[in-house]
Amino acid sequence: MTPPRPLRILHLTAGSDAGGISRYLYDLCRAMHDAGHHVAIAGQRGPWHHLFQSAPWPWIDAPLKAGPLGLWRAAGILTDYLARNPADVLHAHYRKATLVARRLQRQTAIPLLYTLHLSHIPVSGLRRWFTDFGDYAHVASSEARQWLIEQGHVPAGRITLIPHGVDPEKFPVGDAASRQAARLELGLAADDRVALFVGRLENPKNEAWLLDVAAMSRQSLPALRILLAGEGPNEPALRRQIQRDGLADRVRLLGHRQPLPLYHAADALLLPSAREGFSLACAEAMCAGLPVLRTRTSGTAELIIEAVTGKSVPIDRQAFVRAAVDFLSDPSALARMGAAAAQHVRRNFTFDRQLQQTIDLYRSIAASGQPPAE
């Protein structure tokens, strides 16, 4: 039997910005390229462009964050590109990118897939006119799928649920030696209770709630250390609050770091977001053996088995802070949940599974070329 020909996928993103979408694109494109498929990414260069500079697939500079004139120019750039490099699927990752992809379809009729990376986004009023979820939609969680049906008004038959996955070899479970080495590098004591946040320091992450956790637990958890790994526009305000509230001995801003040593140094991951699409950082931390306390955002149903792999709380500041202090107060429960979390991710959320399901989706879309009947 003749093997199927390689796929040709053009991704349209805002840019190589810091955060989970750049990570998602890089990992997916790397794996597909290594499997013999043809991929390309269009967008503006951002602070994480170093990920893509030496990549063996094309990056097409196109102003996909711009206003109407810039988006019109982006469509021209990509029309010229597609004339030389045909594609089977246009894969958009931002709403503005779908507007450009629709313009490209006038000349090419290439089917359009949209990935909803962050659910519960504003879609009312004028935003409704500029919201397009593609011919087909991909979500990473069941809650995001339900939101897309109810609020995005996307027919269920056009939505495919493919959870994000983690490569267990890249996120091994920490042991006593890796924990000691990671804590030594970070200047942490062996008996410190370490809570970790990994993500962008900007709305809707609610990272400032962790400063409340540090302040509230001075008496009950005197050895608590909270590490915030990430960068973003909220960093100056966080630094000011840490100094104003006298929390410098309990809270540290680490900037962007490789996460694995942080996962091995920590006792738990805290995720107080107002919105998520899934939370790859949550899955990575669990894979490395950390239990997670998170707000009930998209991805919670997939990753959190209550009191087994972690815990979840409503999206409420006071409720989260109280729950975090309680969560961090029982080290034996944290260790037990961390071990279960690692097993859960390894059984159900591997990158190999995500990759194969994504390739199958691309092939299905490329073969049909048309939206399914409603």
294-344 residue pLDDT tens: 999 999 999 999 999 999 999 999 999 999 999 999 999 999 999 999 999
Report which of 269, 267, 283 is spatially closest to residue 333, judged by C-alpha positions. Answer: 267
Tens digit of each residue's pLDDT (9 = 90 or more) over 85-119? 999 999 999 999 999 999 999 999 999 999 999 88
Round to the nearest angstrom and report the end-to-end CA distance of the chain.
34
- The CATH T-level fold of domain 8-165+351-368 is Rossmann fold (3.40.50)
Domain boundaries, the chain: 8-165+351-368, 176-348
Q: Read off the pLDDT band of 127 (50, 70, 90).
A: low
- The string of pLDDT tens digits covering residues 7-59 is 999 999 999 998 889 999 999 999 999 999 999 999 999 999 999 999 999 99
pLDDT for 129 equals 65
Q: Are 96 and 374 in contact (CB under 8 A)?
A: no
User: Which residues 6+ apart lie within 8 Å of 7 measured at CB?
Assistant: 32, 37, 38, 88, 89, 359, 362, 363, 366
Q: What CA–CA distance (Å, rounded) separates 263 from 270?
A: 12
Longest dimension (CA), the chain: 69
Predicted confidence band at 123 (pLDDT cuts at 50, 70, 90)? Answer: confident
Q: Could you tell me the pLDDT band of residue 131, with boundaries at 50, 70 and 90?
A: confident
Listed residue (264, 290, 298) closest to 344, CA to CA: 290
User: Which regions of 55-129 does DSSP assign to beta strands (E)?
Assistant: 59-61, 89-92, 112-115
Per-residue confidence (pLDDT) for residue 104, from 0 to 100: 97
**Residues 17, 46: contact at Cβ < 8 Å?**
yes
pLDDT of residue 1: 62
- Enumerate the β-bridge partners of residue 159: 137
Q: Convert 96-135 to b/e letters by CB count within 10 Å (16 or more is b).
A: bbbbbbbbbeeebebbbbbbbbbbbbebeeeeeeebbbbb
Tell me: pLDDT of 284 over 60.
yes
Domains 8-165+351-368 and 176-348 share a fold: yes
Question: Residue 204, preceding bond cis, omega within 30 degrees?
Answer: yes
Q: Tell me the per-residue pLDDT of 137-184, one tens digit each, with 9 for 90 and over.
A: 999 999 999 999 999 999 999 999 999 999 999 999 999 999 999 999
Find, among 159, 169, 145, 160, the residue nearest to 298 by Cα.
145
Q: How is residue 239 written in tokens?
A: 């630094």
Q: For residues 170 and 110, what is the distance between their CA atoms, to the nearest angstrom?
A: 35
Share of the chain above pLDDT 90, in %: 92
CATH architecture of the domain formed by 176-348: 3-Layer(aba) Sandwich (3.40)
Say how far apart CA 308 and CA 305 lie, in whole Å. 5
In this prediction, residue 120 carries a pLDDT of 87
* CB atoms inside a 10 Å sphere around CB 332: 7
Apex CA 170: angle with CA 363 and CA 230, to 5°?
A: 95
The pLDDT of residue 126 is 64
**pLDDT of 122:** 82
pLDDT tens-digit map of 210-267: 999 999 999 999 999 999 999 999 999 999 999 999 999 999 999 999 999 999 999 9
Q: What is the mean pLDDT of the chain?
A: 95
So what's the pLDDT on residue 344? Answer: 98
